[in-house]
């Protein structure tokens, strides 16, 4: 069997769903189809969750209406006379949302977030599954929350592998159905509270299911030709990487390449499952494959740019050195605020780290740090990572830029610069 993952961009409108169906039609295989929320629905649901949590009733009502309208319009476009029946299958989900939103929020924003934001995937998969059945591609819809069980780390649920794997095997029975449609990005605790697995987590779901079900491969259908050596939105000249190793893919996502969710590779490596990245716009083209490669590859230079970083420089209050003990205190704070460190530079009296701009809690972090250290920071920075660099390439990229930190290893050069 194979796992296919379709992201939000691939099902952003009715044509997207029709296109998905035409791709599926070409495959006689047993399939698990993992679908994300339609278009930018997750972003809209995040806004909705915030308005609920902050009790902005008026805006909340607008948000709910927009969400309903958006999905209704897609349904009407896809199903004609059959639309009302499909809408009925979503009515209990909207009902549940209304009931939740009618109650005052609990004190835990992250919990509320998961309960609300998860709806996007429920709606998209119900619509997709119904449409496939409607056009004769028989399939079964699965609520993945009954199979993928996580701990209660809201917004970043950790999968309970042994429990989930048994449940998943019992849910996906290919003697009964050839095609299954299910949600990416979401799971549930053992007490049936919904969790999410982190933004863009549907890739990870696809990999987890592939691992548990011993899939032949995973294919991620995207709006790009495959994995490129640079983001085509940011760089003029880009090249497709036809084949890369799991390790290379992990490195690229670690440095901030957005092509695949960073957690995706581990479940695949474990069982040697190849990951294809292909275009849903040109589904006959080859795309890229990430797989096990034992020989040394010659890669072209790969550019990864990450924006909106903050460089924090921390020094002791007295004239002492930055030592292991203070560094461990600093890292504990980062872990507490769930802050991702991208780059570290250490000298006798300074410890500098480039971090992602956190959504919340930055001011608290800084004041916590200021209790123990002298703290300076610069916002609005870009971190450019160049894998397989040449001197010429580096020169071209940083020539006219203000570089705050530069680091090089044999294969990788990194520059923290003022954003332009
Ligand atoms: N819908 C979720 C998101 O936008 C998950 C995903 O797309 O992978 O983050
Ligand atoms: Mg997505």
Residue 297 lies in a domain: no
Atom 3 in ligand 1: residue holding the nearest Cα: 200
Atom 7 in ligand 1: residue holding the nearest Cα: 200
- Asked if 264 and 318 sit in the same domain, the reply is no
Residue 296 lies in a domain: no
User: Residue 76, SS3?
Assistant: helix
Residue 364 lies in a domain: yes
7 CB near ligand 1 (under 6 Å) = yes
226 CB near ligand 1 (under 6 Å) = no
Q: What is the pLDDT of residue 258?
A: 84
> Nearest bound ligand to CA 199?
1
- CA angle 23–29–34, rounded 5-degree value: 60
- State the chain's maximal CA–CA distance in angstroms: 77
- Asked if 126 and 188 sit in the same domain, the reply is yes
- Asked if 257 and 345 sit in the same domain, the reply is no
Residue 17 lies in a domain: yes
Dist. CA 294–CA 272, nearest whole Å: 12
- Tell whether the model's pLDDT for residue 179 goes beyond 90: yes
Give the position, in ligand 1's atom list, of the atom nearest the Cα of 43.
Answer: 4
- Asked if 37 and 185 sit in the same domain, the reply is yes
User: Residue 226, SS3?
Assistant: coil
Helix (H) or strand (E) holding 385: strand 373-387
Dist. CA 215–CA 2, nearest whole Å: 5
> Nearest bound ligand to CA 223?
2
pLDDT tens digits along 220-242: 999 999 999 998 888 888 999 99
- Asked if 194 and 339 sit in the same domain, the reply is no
- Asked if 338 and 207 sit in the same domain, the reply is no
- Asked if 161 and 209 sit in the same domain, the reply is yes
Side-chain half-sphere exposure of 271, counting CA atoms within 13 A: 17
- Asked if 203 and 317 sit in the same domain, the reply is no
Residue where a domain terminates, one of 291, 326, 345: 291
DSSP 360: S
Q: What is the pLDDT of residue 234?
A: 83
Task: Measure Cα distances from 339 to 183, 287, 332, 333, 404 in Å.
Answer: 27, 34, 10, 9, 21
- Asked if 112 and 233 sit in the same domain, the reply is yes
Q: What is the pTM of this model?
A: 0.91
Domain count, the chain: 2
- Asked if 311 and 286 sit in the same domain, the reply is no
> Nearest bound ligand to CA 114?
1
199 CB near ligand 1 (under 6 Å) = yes
305 CB near ligand 1 (under 6 Å) = no
Task: Measure Cα distances from 10 to 199, 220, 319, 372 in Å.
Answer: 17, 10, 56, 49
Kindly provide the residue ranges of all beta strands, DSSP E only, lying in 27-143, ordered along the sequence. Answer: 31-35, 140-142
> Nearest bound ligand to CA 42?
1
pLDDT tens digits along 1-46: 999 999 999 999 999 999 999 999 999 999 999 999 999 999 999 9
Question: In 10 A of CB 310, how many CB atoms?
Answer: 20
DSSP-assigned beta bridge partners for residue 346? 351
Mean pLDDT of the chain: 95
- Asked if 140 and 8 sit in the same domain, the reply is yes
Ligand 1 pocket test target in 128, 186, 199 with most atoms within 8 Å of CB: 199
The CATH number given to whatever domain includes residue 414 is 3.30.2130.10
Residue where a domain terminates, one of 291, 319, 350: 291
Ligand 1 pocket test target in 47, 156, 185 with most atoms within 8 Å of CB: 185
- Tell whether the model's pLDDT for residue 321 goes beyond 80: no
Of the pLDDT bands very low, low, confident and very high (cuts 50, 70, 90), residue 340 is: confident
User: Residue 408, SS3?
Assistant: strand
Residue where a domain terminates, one of 266, 291, 316: 291
For ligand 2, the distance from its centroid to the CA atom of residue 313, given in whole angstroms, is 34
**Domain limits for position 399:** 302-418
| Contacts made by residues 333-341, CB under 8 angstroms, sequence distance 24+ | 333/365, 333/368, 333/369, 334/365, 337/361, 337/364, 337/365, 338/156, 339/365
Cα Rg for the chain, rounded, in angstroms?
23
Task: Measure Cα distances from 236 to 228, 305, 387 in Å.
Answer: 12, 14, 18
pLDDT tens digits along 256-289: 888 899 899 999 999 999 999 999 999 999 999 9
List of residues 6+ apart from 402 with CB closer than 8 A: 417, 418
Give the position, in ligand 1's atom list, of the atom nearest the Cα of 185.
Answer: 5
């Amino acid at each position: 069997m194979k796992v296919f993952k379709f992201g939000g961009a691939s099902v952003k409108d009715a044509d997207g769903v029709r296109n998905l169906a035409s791709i599926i039609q070409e495959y006689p295989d047993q399939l698990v189809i993992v679908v994300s929320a339609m278009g930018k629905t997750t972003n809209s649901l995040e806004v909705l969750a915030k308005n609920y949590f902050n009790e902005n009733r008026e805006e909340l009502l607008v948000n709910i209406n927009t969400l309903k309208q958006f999905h209704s319009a897609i349904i009407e476009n896809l199903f004609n006379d059959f639309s009302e029946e499909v809408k009925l299958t979503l009515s209990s989900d909207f009902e549940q949302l209304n009931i939740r939103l009618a109650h005052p929020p609990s004190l835990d924003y992250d919990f509320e977030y998961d309960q609300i934001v998860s709806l996007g995937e429920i709606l998209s998969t119900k619509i997709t599954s119904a449409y496939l059945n409607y056009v004769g591609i028989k399939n079964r819809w699965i609520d993945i929350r009954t199979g993928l069980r996580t701990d209660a780390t809201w917004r970043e649920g950790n999968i309970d592998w042994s429990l989930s794997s048994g449940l998943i095997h019992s849910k996906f029975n290919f003697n009964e159905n050839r095609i299954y449609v299910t949600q990416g990005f979401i799971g549930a605790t053992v007490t049936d509270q919904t969790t999410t697995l982190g933004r863009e987590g549907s890739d990870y779901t696809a990999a987890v299911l592939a691992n548990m079900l011993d899939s032949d491969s995973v294919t991620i259908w995207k709006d790009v030709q495959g994995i490129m050596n640079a983001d085509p939105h940011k760089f003029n000249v880009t090249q497709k990487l036809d084949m890369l190793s799991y390790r290379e893919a992990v490195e690229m996502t670690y440095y901030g390449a957005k092509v695949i969710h960073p957690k995706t590779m581990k479940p695949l490596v474990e069982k040697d499952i190849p990951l294809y990245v292909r275009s849903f716009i040109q589904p006959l083209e080859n795309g890229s494959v990430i797989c096990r490669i034992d020989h040394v590859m010659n890669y072209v230079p790969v550019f990864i740019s990450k924006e909106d970083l903050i460089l924090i420089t921390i020094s002791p209050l007295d004239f002492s050195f930055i030592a292991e003990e203070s560094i461990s205190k600093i890292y504990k704070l980062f872990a507490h605020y769930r802050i991702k460190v991208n780059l570290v530079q250490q000298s006798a009296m300074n410890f500098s780290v480039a971090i992602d701009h956190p959504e919340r809690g930055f001011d608290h972090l800084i004041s916590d740090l200021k209790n123990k250290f002298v703290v300076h920071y610069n916002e609005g920075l870009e971190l450019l990572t160049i894998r397989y660099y040449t001197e010429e390439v580096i020169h071209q990229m940083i020539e006219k830029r203000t570089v705050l930190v530069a680091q090089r290893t044999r294969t990788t050069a990194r520059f923290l610069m003022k954003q332009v």
